[in-house]
A and B are shown apart, each in its own frame.
Chain A
Amino acid sequence: MNVKREKLTTLSFFLSPMAVMVVLFYLVPLIMTVYISFTRMRNWNVSKYLTEFVGFYNYHRLLYMFQHDPTFKAVLLTTVVFVGITLIINVFGGLALALATFFIEDKPASAFRLLWLLPRMSPIAVYSLVWYYFFHGSEIGTLNSILMKLGVISQPIPWGQIVPWGAWSIIIFVNGLVGVSFGMIVFTSALNQIPKELVIAARVDGASSWQISRRILIPMIRWHLLYVLTWQFLSLLTTYPHLFLLVQWDLVNGDYGTTLALYVFNTAFGMGEQDQGLAAAAAVLLSVIGIIGGFVTLKVLKFERMMKRPRGDF
C-alpha cells in the first residue's frame, strides 16, 4: 500500500504540469469551441451571446453556404487543391532531397539540409516577407523583374490576383518549401539506419545510384513514406499562419488564397464582421476530419507496437 502511494506521489509530481497544460489549453478550449458552435456568438460579444443557444443553426448555415456561397465554395476547392498538390511536393521533394544528400559527402550534405530547414526555422513574418517581395505585383517583385528582363512580359503582373491558379501556385510554393524539410529529415534519419553493407554490396556489383535508390533504399523506408504522407496531410489541412500573412498583405486573392483552417481563423478573429459561432462550427468539422485522420494514421502505422514497456522499471 505504502509503495503504491509513493508511486502515485512520484507520478503526480512528474505528470501534473503536463496534465494541467493539456486540460487548460486543449480539453477546455475544445469543449468551449464545440459550445460556441451552438451559440450565436459574434464579434466576441461574450456577455450578450454566450448563453444564446441556436441549436444546429450554424451548421445549417455551413451547409447552405456549401451549396450557394461562391466564396465558401472557393475556400473548400482551394483547401482540396492546396492540400493535395502541396502534399505531393512535400513527400517527393523531401524524398528527393534526402536521397540526393545521402549520395554526397557529409559536409555539403549537412549544409544543404540546414539550408532547407531555414523556411521552417525562420520567423513566419520574415519568411512571408521574403516571398512577398519575390511575388510582388509591381516592378520591385523579383519574379516580375526576371520575366521582364527576359522579355516574357512587358508589364508587371500581380500574380497572386490571377484566380485561381496564380493564387494557388503562390500558396502551394510558399508552404511547399516549409513542408519539404519534414520529409527530408525523417527520410534522412531512416536512410542512415539502413546497414551500409547493402549499399556497398550493390555498388560493388555495379549498381547506379538510381538503381540503389529504387531497389534498395526506397523499399526499406516504406514505413517512413507512409508516416510522412499521413502526418503531412494532417498538418497541411490545419496550417494557416503563412497563408494568413499572404492574404492579409493582399499578395494573393482572398478567396483563392484561403483554406478552411484560415477561413475559421479569419471568421473568428479577422477584420470587420466576426462570426465566432460559424467559425466554431467550421472548426468542429475540421477537427472531426483531423481526429479521424489522426486515428487512421496511428492504426495504419501501427504506432502502438512501437511503444514498449520500460524494461528496467520494477
Chain B
Amino acid sequence: MKDVETRPRRYSRVIILTILLASLPLIVGFSLLVISSFSTEMVTNLNPSSFHLTLENWISVFHGKLATTGGIRAPILRITLNTLIVALGVAGVVTAVSALAGYSLSRVNFRGRKHMMILLLVLHAFPGVALIVGVYLLYRLTFPQSMDIVRLYSFMYVIFARAALEIPMSVWLMKGFFDTIPWEFEWSGIIDGASRITVWRKIMLPLIKPGILAVALFAFLAGWQDIIYVRTFLIDQTLATFIEANIEAEFSHMPMIAAAGTLYLLPTIIFFITAQQLLLQGYSGGIKG
C-alpha cells in the first residue's frame, strides 16, 4: 500500500522476512524439483554432493527414454501434444460458452435470470466426484462402435466434460467483465439498428478482450493441470498420466521424472512471468462475482 507514509519502514522488512519464512517450503520444494532435473542424482536430500550438472535427463526425456538402461520408450512429444490439445480444447469451449452466456446474464433482463445465476453458483460448489460416476456412464453409453473414431471421441469427450466443470465460474467471471462496460457503448449500437447479437460481436467482444484473455488463460491451465478426467476418459496418455504411471515404476530414473515434471510445469512458469497482473486480477474478479 503506497499511500500510508507515516508507517515506520523497518516494520515492513520484518513482515517481508516473516512471509518469506512461511513461503520457504514452497520455494524449496519447487526449486529442488527443477534443480534435480539438471542433476545426475536427486538433490532432494539437500546434499550438495549429489548435484552434478547434466543435461542428460532432458535429452533422455525428449528422446522418450525413461531409464538409463533398457529399451522402454515413451513418445514424449506426442504426450505433450495430447496435453496441449486437451488444454486448448478446454480453453476454447469454456471461453466461447462463457462469452455468450456471460453477456446475456450481464446485459439482458429476462425471467429466471436470477435463478440461473444461483444455479450456476450451486453447480460450482457441487461435488465433482458425484458427477464423474454419471459422466462416465454417459461416456460408456455413447461410446462409438467403430474403432477408427474411438480415440477422437475420447479426446472430444474429455474436452467437453472437463470444460463443463469450469463453466459456472467462468460465466460468473465473464459476467463480471461485461458489467464493467458502460451501457452507452451498447445503446449507440442498438440505436443504429443493430441486433443484440451484432452488438455483442462487434462492440462488446472487442471491449472485453482482457476479460476473454483471463478466462481463456484460466481454462487453459485447468485443462493443462487436470489428471482425474484425463486418466478416466482419455485413451491416449498426457503428461499427467505419464508422471503418475512412472513414479513408482522400478525402471524409471528419478531425475528424468523430475525433468518431465519440470517440462509439464513450463507453461505455468511462462504465464507467471508474462501474465502476472492478469492472473491476480482475474482471480479477484472471478471470486468477487
Contact = CB atoms under 8 A, between A and B. Distances in A.
B interface, how many residues as a size bin?
35 or more
Contacts of A92: none
B147 interface: no
A280 B18 CA distance: 46
A72 to B, nearest CB: 16
A104 B98 CA distance: 36
B45 A145 contact: yes
A71 interface: no
Contacts of A284: 130
B23 A112 contact: yes
Interface stretch (A12-20, A56-64, A79-87): A12-20
A112 B187 contact: no
Given A46-B137, A185-B287, A21 B240 contact: no
Interface in A100-152: 100-106, 108, 110, 112-119, 121-126, 129-134, 136, 139-142, 144-146, 149
A204 interface: yes
A18 B167 contact: yes
A28 interface: yes
A126 B284 contact: no
Most chain A beta carbons < 10 A, residue from B119, B134, B163, B187:
B134
B226 A46 contact: no
A248 B244 CA distance: 8
Contacts of A231: 125
Contact of A122 (B18, B136, B265): B265
Contact of A130 (B30, B239, B289): B30
Nearest to A17: B97
Given A17-B96, A126-B243, A25 B131 contact: yes
A189 B91 CA distance: 25
A169 interface: no
A310 interface: yes
Contact of B125 (A28, A294, A311): A294
Interface in A35-72: 36, 44, 46
Nearest to A233: B125
B71 interface: no
B16 A104 contact: yes
A153 to B, nearest CB: 14
Interface in B162-211: 163-165, 167, 171, 183, 186-187, 195-197, 200
B5 to A, nearest CB: 8
Contacts of A88: none
Contacts of B103: 14
A165 interface: no
Contacts of B98: 18
A10 B195 contact: yes
A11 interface: yes
Contact of A287 (B25, B28, B44, B126): B126
Given A25-B161, A116-B23, A30 B289 contact: no
Contact of A44 (B118, B140, B262): B140
Contacts of A130: 29-30, 32-33
A253 interface: no
B279 interface: yes
Contact of B19 (A101, A265, A304): A101
Contacts of B108: 7, 10-11, 14, 310, 313
Given A10-B195, A18-B97, A104 B129 contact: no
A177 interface: yes
A103 B1 contact: yes
Contacts of A237: 127
B134 A241 contact: no
A149 B243 contact: no
B126 A290 contact: yes
Nearest to B279: A117
A241 B230 CA distance: 12
A77 interface: no
A198 to B, nearest CB: 11
Nearest to B242: A125
Contacts of A290: 125-127, 130
Nearest to B262: A126
Contacts of A32: 133-134, 137-138
B251 interface: no
A226 interface: no
Contact of B163 (A10, A21, A31, A283): A21
Interface string B1-42: 111101100011001101100110111111011001000001
Interface string A256-282: 000001101100110000001001100
A105 B164 contact: no
Interface string B230-248: 0010000001100110011
Given A29-B132, A196-B1, A264-B130, 18 more contacts: A7-B110, A17-B101, A21-B163, A25-B160, A29-B131, A121-B271, A124-B225, A125-B244, A132-B247, A133-B44, A145-B45, A200-B3, A244-B228, A249-B248, A269-B136, A286-B129, A311-B183, A312-B187
14 contacts: A10-B196, A17-B101, A25-B131, A25-B165, A29-B132, A122-B265, A133-B36, A149-B46, A186-B288, A189-B284, A283-B133, A294-B121, A294-B122, A303-B118
List the 10 shortest-distance A-B pairs measured between CB atoms, nearest first.
A29-B134, A25-B164, A32-B134, A312-B183, A189-B284, A14-B104, A283-B130, A238-B127, A18-B101, A33-B134
